[in-house]
Copies of this chain bind each other. A is one copy, B any other.
């Protein structure tokens, strides 16, 4: 499998265009709406939040995706989440989709919508409709339009996040690109806050959904910023079959290559979302190896990156490894502390601090040196099996508190 990282995001794949606009929904003087569009109808696979309280747009999109309808467009706004908004919120989705139908002559039932921002406020529908009209005249397949779209969907994110890869299926170049945004209320359960991927691969809808479900589980579902599973988590992959490859109709070499490429895109986006968690100064990775089961490995890794105390220790470069063991202990996974080895690892080195149930007298200065890197890994060897899992999070900082003590003002 030869998968190349390439420039670009949602417009990297053939036939996809994007646009954005400053609709003035909540932010002033910056783009706060984005649209992704394909003239060719797209198969769509998606996963959505498992939060009982689902945003109106999540309900809208779930219906579209589960009905198996082909999609032409996704319209996204930042600033207001359209969650806890009752019937009026659902109307806002319908009117947005109808505005696309009017401007771009595609059925409103081929238009997905997504929102991110404050929960419990109504969207200004007039501004949304005007935004759609404006964007419809500006759609472009240029790399810049993809980049600008990835900037328009940001809320407390400090950097935009997009990525793309290409590979070959039976002599035809196929591309997958995508964008996503965080950065608080991030503890995806099925998928992340907002992530939109596009591909020109020709692939059966069932296989597309299978690849999405498996890959999202290993990537976006393995990150956490604050343990709060959002009401708006949305992951959608649109495929318009413009690459001209022989249609992928069964599992095999081509499917495996597609899935691996999808994994690379999702892993890259998910890591960047974790690293850009609200207030974060660094990426915090927990890698669990030699666990009894895959489930145990996942549970342990997620508990470690999810612990407030672990996250604060990572911020302070304090090798207080007992907090990691404590988090493993309450995670629900079954293990013996006597089997466990624990290491700190980064670009700057690797240091064992706990050896089969016994704390080591390690060099504190060496530990600080390792933990000062912008990506820090806690490596945990369970010595109980052969399964492994990696989870990603970030440190807990003063700025996380600052951002969230006063989010709405």
Indicate which residue in B88, B322, B358, B403 contacts A119 across the interface (CB closer than 8 Å).
Answer: B322
Indicate which residue in B52, B320, B400, B403 contacts A401 across the interface (CB closer than 8 Å).
Answer: B400
A84 touches B228 (CB 8 A): no
Indicate which residue in B189, B312, B338, B407 contacts A320 across the interface (CB closer than 8 Å).
Answer: B407
A interface list, Cβ under 8 A from B: 50-54, 81, 83-86, 88, 118-122, 184-185, 187, 189, 226-231, 307-309, 312-313, 315-316, 318, 320-323, 325-331, 333-335, 337-338, 353-354, 357-359, 396-398, 400-409
Chain B hits for A119, CB < 8 A:
320-323, 325-326
A313 touches B407 (CB 8 A): yes
Docked Cα-Cα span, A337 to B406, in Å, equals: 25
Contacts A308-B404, A398-B401, A404-B313; is A329 near B231 (CB within 8 Å)?
A: yes
Contacts A86-B338, A312-B405, A357-B84; is A328 near B53 (CB within 8 Å)?
A: yes
B85 touches A53 (CB 8 A): no
B325 touches A120 (CB 8 A): yes
B406 touches A318 (CB 8 A): yes
A53 touches B318 (CB 8 A): no
Docked Cα-Cα span, A313 to B308, in Å, equals: 17
Docked Cα-Cα span, A338 to B89, in Å, equals: 13
Min CB distance, A406 to chain B, in Å?
5
Min CB distance, A281 to chain B, in Å?
11
Chain B hits for A86, CB < 8 A:
338, 357-358
Docked Cα-Cα span, A227 to B189, in Å, equals: 18
Chain B hits for A408, CB < 8 A:
318, 320
Docked Cα-Cα span, A312 to B226, in Å, equals: 11
A316 touches B359 (CB 8 A): no
The 3 closest A-B pairs by CB, nearest first: A119-B322, A316-B405, A53-B329
**Closest chain B residue, CB of each to CB of A85:** B359
Chain B hits for A405, CB < 8 A:
312-313, 315-316, 318, 396-397
Docked Cα-Cα span, A405 to B321, in Å, equals: 13
Chain B hits for A409, CB < 8 A:
318
